[in-house]
Amino acid sequence: MTGLRLEQIEDGGFAEVQWLVEGVPESVIVHRDGDTARAWLNICPHAGRSLEVAPGHFVKTRDGHLLCAAHGATFELAHGECVGGPCRGQHLVAVAVEVRDGEVRQR
């Protein structure tokens, strides 16, 4: 699957991409943090639903956490841990990525 240009994501923001993860097409959330990126499957561990409020649109709380639009779970962005809501202590499934030549790619 193709990568995503880091510059396409606002610093501190999110993008949604479709990538093959372990051979399965998946919706993946990519978060930009300066010159680095993190990624997780777009699946809330609480109910298995996507996290976005609308296709490709994610919400960040005032505390800087990713918000699941379905049931209000919040996830810190360093490790994808749920820090509030119905799945507290669970984690988003990480997708290994790297930024190479300005492009976010799966490792």
CATH of the domain at 92: 2.102.10.10
Q: Which domain holds residue 28?
A: 4-106
The count of domains in the chain is: 1
Give the global pTM.
Answer: 0.93
- Token pair of 15 as six digits: 């993008």
- Mean pLDDT per segment of 10 residues, for the chain of length 107 residues? 84 96 96 97 95 94 96 96 96 97 95
Tally of residues, the chain? 107
Rounded to 5°, angle at Cα 42 from 68 and 44: 45
